[in-house]
Each structure stands twice: as structure tokens, then as C-alpha cells.
Structure 1
Amino acid sequence: MNLRKSILTALLLAIGLILHQITPGTLGGIKFDLFLPFVFIALFLNTTFKNALLTGLLGGILTAMTTSFPGGQLPNLIDKVGTCIILFVIIKGMESFKDSRFFVGVIACLGTVISGSIFLGSALLMIGLPAPFMVLFMTIVLPTSLTNIFVTMIIYRITQNTLRVTGMKLV
């Protein structure tokens, strides 16, 4: 794995961790997952399976450490790893569209819905939910998916411009 790509992934996840840490828990302690845009960008910039798996594992561990959902540690790990693997397949299959703003937005929305569904589903099976699945999906996952579209597009554009200005090649 390219060291530059690994360092960039680690920096993105560190920024996402800080944002995840300061986001307050809402209904039942579930947070709006603003860590996800940084995961998506890491997957866009380094489209290898090894990176997707590593990003999912590290993302799951980091969000598990900062979760406000009681017992949400294991669901966070399952959620991030599963989401990264699914998105890796989608991004690889549509790699020619990778730099399109529309595609970045679609992946952000789809990835957040996938992540939220996996988290809520695994939490439901393991510990139970503080409210019905559909209520949490409609009040937490869908608004977060809309927010993450814009956050991901803005941060991805900033990241691309930073890489271009610094002359950093990720090849």
C-alpha cells in the first residue's frame, strides 16, 4: 500500500473522528454520523480492497470509541466494515465516474443509507433499539444522508484542490 495514501487516509479518519466526537447523540444516543464523509473520501482517493478493509476496520474502531449509543461498539464496527466493502465494489464498478460531483453525492447518500441500515439492523439484533427501526431510520439516517451529500462534496473538492496545489501524486 502506498505510504502517501495511507497517511492521507489516516488524516481523513482523524479529522472525521474529531467531528464524530463533538457531534451530540440524539434520539436514543444515536449520532448523526458525520464521520462517514471522510470514510467516503478515503475510498475515493485510494480504491484498493486493502484500503477499503483497513478504512472500515479503523473507522469502526474509532467510531466505537466515541459512540453515545449504549452497546453500540460492535454495531459500529460491523457497520463501517460492511459499508466500506459494499462501497468499494460500487466505486470500483463505476470508476470512470469517480470524479463526477453527481457520483460523489450519490455515493455519499447511498453510503450513509447503507451504513445507517447496517448499524440499526445489527444493533436491533444484538441489543435492541430505543425506538422502532423505521422511526430511527426516518429521523436519523435520512437527514444524515442528505447532510452527508453536501459535506462529502465540499470536503472532497477541498481535498482534490489541496492535492493539486501541493502537487501530491497518489499514484
Structure 2
Amino acid sequence: MKTKKLVLSAVLLAVGLLLHYIVPGIFMGMKPDLLLSMMFVAVIVNEDFKSALVTGLVAGFLTALTTTFPGGQIPNIIDKFITVLVVYGLNTILGNKISNIIKTCIISVLGTLVSGTIFLGSAYLIVGLPTSFTALFLTVVLPATLLNSVAVLFLLSVVQRSMRLVSYSK
């Protein structure tokens, strides 16, 4: 892993952690996971399996530290680890076969759906859910999917432009 990739991932996760911490809850204290958006951007930009794994594990531990879901620490770690593998796989499979905008939308939508499903499923098995799986999926995961898709598209374009500016200044 290159230092540049690690630094970029660390900065993205730090911003995601801050956003994850300050964003208020939407439904029964549940809130969209903006650290997840940053994790997606880091995986898409770095395109490296080792970086993706480290990013996913760190994202899992960071969200575990800031979760407002009772007993959500272990489900957050499980969810991020599985989700980062899915996102890396999608990024690798889609590669340059389709436009970057469509690829980013597919990755962010499917990644958020996988993340929300894994989180709710593992939380259900480990600590239980405050209401039904379906209610939480419809009121938290689906809106978060839309929010994350828009956030990832915006953030990825900002990061890619910044990277071009930095490479031109050398």
C-alpha cells in the first residue's frame, strides 16, 4: 500500500467520522451513515484490495465508536467488513466498462443496501431491533441509499478534481 493511498483514505474516513458523529437521527435515533459514503469514495479512488480491506475495518471500528444504536458496535464492524468486499468487487467488475457516473451510482446504491441489510440483520441476531426489520429498512436504509448516492457522486467528483490539481502542481 502506498502512503498516498493510506493518507487519502484516512482523511476521507476522518471527514466521514465527523459527519457520522454530528448528523442527527432520523427515525427512532437512527441516522444515515455518511462514513459509509466516504468509505465508498476511498475504495473507488484507491482501487486496491489491501487499502479497501484496511479502509473497511477502520470504518467499522469508527462507526462502532460513534453509533447511537443500542448494541450496534458489533453489527457496524460486521456490516463494514462485508460491505467493503462487495464495493471492491463491484468496482473491480464494473471497471471502465460503463461511465463513471453510472458505476458510482450502482456501487453506492448496492453498497448502501448491502450495508443496511447486513447491519439490521446482524443487529437483529445479536441485540434485537427496536421495531420491525421492514420498518427500519423502509424508513432508514432506503432514504440513506438515496442520500449516500448523491453524497458519493458529489464527494467523488471533489476528490478526483483535487487529485488532478495535486498531480498538476508537481
> Could you say whether these structures have the same fold, taking a TM-score greater than 0.5 normalized by the shorter chain as the test?
yes
Shorter-chain TM range is: over 0.9
Residue equivalent to 2:48: 48
**Where in structure 1 are there 5+ consecutive unaligned residues?**
none
Aligned equivalents of 2:45 and 2:26: distance in 1?
31
TM-score of the aligned structures, taking structure 2 as reference length:
0.94
CA distance, structure 1, for counterparts of residue 34 and residue 22 of structure 2? 10
Contact 2:40 2:152 in 1 (8 A): yes
CA distance in 1, matches of 2:62, 2:27: 21
Q: Map 1:150-161 to 2 at 5 A.
A: 150-161=150-161
State the superposition RMSD in angstroms: 1.5
**Whole-Å Cα distance in 1 between the matches of residues 82 and 132 of structure 2?**
22
SS at match of 1:29: coil
How far, CA to CA, are the matches of 1:80 and 1:144 in structure 2?
15
Deviation readout 1:80-106 (Å, 9 max, x if unpaired): 011001111111111114761111112
* TM-score, normalising length: structure 1: 0.94
Deviations 1:25-83 (A, max 9, x none): 33343221111110001001112221111011100000000000010000000000110
Per the alignment, in what secondary structure is the counterpart of residue 167 of structure 1? helix
Which string of whole-angstrom CA distances, capped at 9 and with x for unpartnered residues, describes residues 124-145 of structure 1? 0000000100100000000010
Question: In the superposition, relative to structure 1, how do residues 7 and 97 fare at CA in structure 2: closer, same or farther (>3 Å)?
Answer: farther
Q: Which amino acid aligns with 2:70?
A: P
Q: Is the 8 A contact 1:98 1:104 kept in 2?
A: no
SS in structure 2 opposite 1:54?
A: helix
Work out the CA distance in 2 between the residues paired with 1:35 and 1:59: 7
User: Which portions of structure 1, spanning 4 or more consecutive aligned residues, are displaced by more than 3 angstroms?
Assistant: none
Residue in 2 that maps onto 1:58: 58
CA contact 1:25–1:69 (8 Å) conserved in 2: no
SS of the aligned residue for 2:34 comes to: coil
